[in-house]
Amino acid sequence: MSDQPRRPRTSGKPYRRPKKDPVRILAFEALRAVDERDAYANLVLPPLLRKAREKEGPEAFDARDAALATELVYGTLRWQGTYDAVIERCVDRPLGEVDPPVLDVLSLGAHQLLGTRIPTHAAVSATVELARVVLGDGRAKFVNAVLRKVAQDDLDGWLERVAPAYDDDPEDHLAVVHSHPRWVVSALWDSLGGGRAGIEELLRADNERPEVTLVARPGRATSEELLGEDAAVPGRWSPYAVRLTEGGEPGAIAAVRDGRAGVQDEGSQLVAIALANAPLEGPDRRWLDGCAGPGGKAALLGALAAQRGAALVASEKQTHRAGLVARALEGNPGPYQVIAADGTRPAWRPGSFDRVLVDVPCTGLGALRRRPEARWRRRPEDLEGFAPLQRGLLRTALESVRVGGVVGYATCSPHLAETRAVVADVLKQFPDTELVDARPLLPGVPDLGEGPDVQLWPHLHGTDAMYLALIRRTG
């Protein structure tokens, strides 16, 4: 007896079951989770990959399959803006009227066709098979028709057709060509300054996957120890940094498992290093991290403080994140305390710290390489939401430091509304302060701008776009 189900036939061809491709089904599920539940791709992927490995077995779903699934998800999300512009030309209705799951399948197909080396026929047929499985045969025909149109040109050809000319509208051109929202292009350009070449390099860097960088927490691990790992090379700027040039599994490294080392972008390491190295007269015994969760900078500051004989207080508003800080600091060689407290209503006496870091909540526009969906989720209105908190946290930090002590105000966003504007506004209320030139505290790091604050950039430094202003209380 045939195992083919009885189906009404619309053509003379016998019904064929769609082929189930676990890699593409997984990629589709991840995209749906990001779209429907506002999930983060980097959090959704690991459990999906684990489930696929368990279900299919390690041979049917191996490391290469996992790498392809990850690339399909990250690439599709990053390039969504560009692919939307292309797909819009290939469908007969506005994109808003295309069912979101159908659009996810189309984007996944567009990425394979325009953003990978997968041969055209394989990209189309694999995506149509996926559509048959997850959308049904009817909608798979629509997917097939649209992808055949997308396949008629390569990415450069499409960009010439869908992006406005640079001379007519530079920001819109860059937004479509480099797949960033226009307002983000505009904000990044305002902060970076300069002409077309620089902003294009930055936008290109935002579309690259960042290397995995480790920090060897001083006094607990050495970079030499980490350099023994596969394809590990020294960091570019931080003496504690080691880059894993071929990615790998940091959780499998003993020093990382024990908390003596961690995963930390070099930009974040530089922020902690600059604050720790800022010149200080008088005692240097009490350091505060006022926005510590999940604890990356606190762990480095704690280790540096210990070398100096200083103690660290790490404070974080959210209790569960304070728990992560406690875990990050476990085994710190010097004294430390973790508290769950609102940094705008300090649980400590004014003027009681020698060094204070506030790495404030922000839009994260400096870390777009890591969070492929973030650029599409953020809205310009978010800036207004963060503004009072950023100012409040900096004000409290300035009240918490003693006269002569130093505050580091940091963001992982280069948006001027979150960086210089906050510092300038708050310092108007604190006349007895001065900005400390942070550039000499990062020896050997080029292109730090005109100072006294510093702005790091993915395309210039290979780091997240971290911002740091150092402020001393003078009276």
> Of 301, 306, 412, 423, which residue is the catalytic one?
412
The torsion of the CA quartet 341, 342, 347, 352, rounded to 10 degrees, works out to 110
294 is in an annotated binding site: yes
- We find the least distance from the C-beta atom of residue 317 to ligand SAM, in angstroms, to be 4
Q: 194 to each of 200, 202, 449, how far by Cα in Å?
A: 11, 12, 12
- We find the least distance from the C-beta atom of residue 435 to ligand SAM, in angstroms, to be 21
Among 24, 317, 378, 459, binds ligand SAM (CB under 6 A): 317
Q: Does 382 bind ligand SAM (CB under 6 A)?
A: no
- We find the least distance from the C-beta atom of residue 154 to ligand SAM, in angstroms, to be 39
412 is annotated as an active-site residue: yes
Q: Does 318 bind ligand SAM (CB under 6 A)?
A: yes
- Beta strands, E only, 163-240: 212-216, 232-234
Place of tokens 């390491």: 269
Q: Does 116 bind ligand SAM (CB under 6 A)?
A: no
DSSP letter (8 states) at residue 470:
E
Structure tokens at 245: 């040039």
Cβ atoms of 73 and 65 within 8 Å: the answer is: no
Q: Does 342 bind ligand SAM (CB under 6 A)?
A: yes
Q: Does 323 bind ligand SAM (CB under 6 A)?
A: no
- The enclosing H or E element of 233 equals strand 232-234
Stretch that binds ligand SAM, among 61-69, 242-250, 314-322, 330-338 (CB under 6 A): 314-322
- We find the least distance from the C-beta atom of residue 271 to ligand SAM, in angstroms, to be 8
Instruction: List the strands of the sheet with 212-216, edge to edge.
Output: 232-234, 241-244, 212-216, 261-263
Distant-in-sequence, close-in-space partners of 11: CB < 8 Å, separation ≥ 6: none
Cβ atoms of 361 and 390 within 8 Å: the answer is: yes
Structure tokens at 268: 């974040």
Q: Does 48 bind ligand SAM (CB under 6 A)?
A: no
- The enclosing H or E element of 226 equals helix 223-227
Q: Does 332 bind ligand SAM (CB under 6 A)?
A: no
Report the residue number, 13 or 349, with the smaller CB distance to ligand SAM.
349
Among 111, 178, 297, 461, binds ligand SAM (CB under 6 A): 297
Place of tokens 């963001």: 411
Report the residue number, 4 or 318, with the smaller CB distance to ligand SAM.
318
Comparing C-alpha atoms, which of 341, 248, 263, 335 is closest to residue 295?
A: 263
Report the residue number, 223 or 396, with the smaller CB distance to ligand SAM.
396
Stretch that binds ligand SAM, among 38-46, 252-260, 339-347, 420-428 (CB under 6 A): 339-347
User: Alpha-carbon distance 169 to 337, whole Å?
Assistant: 53
Report the residue number, 343 or 458, with the smaller CB distance to ligand SAM.
343
58 is in an annotated binding site: no
- We find the least distance from the C-beta atom of residue 217 to ligand SAM, in angstroms, to be 13
Q: Does 334 bind ligand SAM (CB under 6 A)?
A: no
Read off the amino acid at residue 450: E
Query: Cα angle vertex 186, ends 181, 187, to 5°?
Result: 100
User: Alpha-carbon distance 256 to 339, whole Å?
Assistant: 24
Q: How far apart are the first and last CA of the chain?
A: 91
User: Alpha-carbon distance 17 to 133, whole Å?
Assistant: 9
Cβ atoms of 439 and 385 within 8 Å: the answer is: no
Q: Does 292 bind ligand SAM (CB under 6 A)?
A: yes
Cβ atoms of 161 and 89 within 8 Å: the answer is: yes
Q: Does 4 bind ligand SAM (CB under 6 A)?
A: no
Q: Does 399 bind ligand SAM (CB under 6 A)?
A: no
Phi, psi of 405 (to 5 degrees): -80, 170
- We find the least distance from the C-beta atom of residue 289 to ligand SAM, in angstroms, to be 6
Among 75, 346, 361, 372, binds ligand SAM (CB under 6 A): 361
Q: Does 321 bind ligand SAM (CB under 6 A)?
A: yes
Q: Does 359 bind ligand SAM (CB under 6 A)?
A: yes
Q: Does 344 bind ligand SAM (CB under 6 A)?
A: yes
- Where in 440-459 is the site for ligand SAM (CB under 6 A)? none
Report the residue number, 265 or 354, with the smaller CB distance to ligand SAM.
265
141 is in an annotated binding site: no
Stretch that binds ligand SAM, among 36-44, 114-122, 341-349, 464-472 (CB under 6 A): 341-349
User: Alpha-carbon distance 467 to 236, whole Å?
Assistant: 18
Q: Does 371 bind ligand SAM (CB under 6 A)?
A: no
Place of tokens 């790998």: 248
Binding residues, as ranges, are 291-297, 316, 342, 359
Write out the catalytic residue numbers: 412
Binding residues for S-adenosyl-L-methionine, as ranges, are 291-297, 316, 342, 359
User: Contact positions toward ligand SAM, by CB under 6 A?
Assistant: 268, 291-297, 316-318, 321, 342-344, 359, 361, 389
